[in-house]
Amino acid sequence: MSKIKRIGVLTSGGDAPGMNAAIRAVTRTAIYNGLEVIGIRHGYQGMINGYFKLMKTFHVSDIIQRGGTILKTARCEEFKTTEGRKQAYESLRDRNIDGVVVIGGDGSFTGARIFNEEYNIPFIGIPGTIDNDIYGTDYTIGYDTALNTVIEAVDKIRDTASAHNRLFFIEVMGAEAGFIAVRSGIACGAEAIIIPEVKDQVNNLHAYLEEGYKRKKSSNIIIVAERAYPGGAFGVAEAVKKDFTDYSMRVTVLGHIQRGGSPSAFDRFTASRLGFAAVDALLDDQKSAMVGLQNNEISLVPFSKAVKLHKEVRKDYLEIANILSV
Ligand code: F6P
């Protein structure tokens, strides 16, 4: 029988669609198991400052379909300090919180891992970020919704690109990784996909555009991951501009629309499964680990692996993209 009686739940880092569905699942699974649930507002900052709120079943009604996070989120510098984590520990201890579920990305899990080396209140993570860049899980909550948002936007841009015979450079998010770019690029039939993980793509783009130009290809969509090239999509456009003066070019940065909106069915479902699994893990006396999804099964991955190991973008997807975009 686990000694856990009261758990905290928080969201941390960049928000992602489906975080609310995860909060709902954690809250209701915990209450079902006879636990009390404390919502910690504003991420780790709220843990330090004691922004706590007792959560009842009704507090998570009507949120499964909502983007953002009802608990608010933050990127907290103070939690990176020894003093900040000490204050956080004292806040948790004063409220008799004996386990915490952290919904966030790798920065949030790094903080959780360090905290669990210093203090004995177990933390369990749920991967929530649109970037899908966390080792140990095939999907992070929010990724699927962000992809759908991107393809809806790109479909619209393609209408106008095609009407004007234009070349569009469209910048998508993803932090240091190209997961959003690769999958959305294939899903919207992009002519090229530029990601941080592959070098020299911009040089190759010259050859590709040259070829398309000769074939009188009327419009092109180039998806650029935000950190793939200095200056992002604007930088890539600048780099090819002088050689393609006959093309009319435009740049669109999709930005934070990728973080908002109602979560997709997949994100709601995954968030519900992972929220359930996170409480299960705490009741099973697990600590310092993330619940993930591997081959559609729940996995438990130590934070030490989730934050240290690198999840690779599948390069074979780029080959598919190239073959299909002729
Ligand atoms: O990690 C999610 C993310 O949206 C990244 O894709 C992006 O680089 C970053 O957050 C933007 O952060 P902010 O909202 O703080 O500008």
Residue whose CA lies nearest to ligand 1 atom number 12? 14
Q: Is 99 in the pocket of ligand 1 (CB under 6 A)?
A: no
DSSP string, 107-156: HHHHHHHHHHHH--S-EEEEEB-TT---TT-S--BTHHHHHHHHHHHHHH
Does residue 131 line the site of ligand 1, with CB under 6 A? yes
Phi, psi of 300 (to 5 degrees): -115, 120
**Which of these CATH numbers, 3.20.20.105, 3.40.50.460, 3.90.1150.10, 1.20.1090.10, describes 143-259?**
3.40.50.460
Residue 294, SS3 per DSSP: strand
Would you kindly state where each structural domain of the chain is located, as residue ranges? 6-142+263-308, 143-259
The per-residue pLDDT for 216 is 73
Atom of ligand 1 nearest to the CA of 13: 1
Residue 145 CB burial class (10 angstroms; 0-12, 13-18, ≥19): buried
Which pLDDT score is estimated for 199?
Answer: 92
Mutate to test the pocket of ligand 1, among 72, 109, 131 (most ligand atoms within 8 A of CB): 131
Expressed in angstroms and rounded, the spacing between residue 189 Cα and the centre of ligand 1 is 25
**For residue 265, how far is its CA from the centre of ligand 1 (angstroms)?**
23
**What distance separates the 2 farthest-apart alpha carbons in the chain?**
72
At 239-248, the pLDDT tens digits run 999 888 878 9
Taking the CA of residue 131 as reference, the ligand 1 atom at the shortest distance is: 6
Q: Which residue's alpha carbon is nearest to atom 13 within ligand 1? A: 14
Structure tokens at 235: 């930088």
State residue 207's pLDDT score: 84
pLDDT at 210: 82
Q: Parallel, antiparallel, or unpaired for β 36-40 and 52-55?
A: antiparallel
Q: Atom of ligand 1 at shortest distance to CA of 16?
A: 2
Could you tell me the fold of the domain covering 6-142+263-308? Answer: Rossmann fold (3.40.50)
User: What is the CA(297)–ligand 1 centre distance, in A?
Assistant: 28
Q: Whose CA is nearest to atom 7 of ligand 1?
A: 175
Q: Is the CB of 133 under 6 A from ligand 1?
A: no
Measured CA distances, 79 to 31, 83, 246 (Å) = 28, 8, 53
Structure tokens at 159: 């209408």
Alpha carbon of 39 to ligand 1 centroid (Å): 23
Instruction: State the distance from the centre of ligand 1 to the C-alpha of 4, rounded, in angstroms.
Output: 34
Task: Determine if ligand 1 sits within 6 Å of the CB of residue 29.
Answer: no
Q: What share of the chain is helix, strand, coil (3-state, %, to 5)?
A: 45, 20, 35
Bridge partners, 54 (sequence order): 38
Using CA atoms, how far apart are residues 95 and 106, in angstroms rounded to an integer?
A: 26
Per-residue pLDDT, 204: 86
Ligand 1 and 142: CB distance under 6 A: no
Residues (pLDDT < 50) of the chain are none
**Is 246 designated active site?**
no
Which of 98, 131, 144, 267 is an active site residue? 131
Task: Please report, to the nearest 10 degrees, the dihedral formed by the alpha carbons of residues 35, 38, 39, 41 taken in order.
Answer: -160
Say what the pLDDT of residue 34 is: 98
| pLDDT value of position 66 | 98
Strands 192-194 and 220-225: parallel
CB-based contacts of 82, cutoff 8 Å, min separation 6: 118
- pTM reported for the whole predicted model: 0.97
Question: Quick one: which atom of ligand 1 is closest to the CA of 175?
Answer: 8
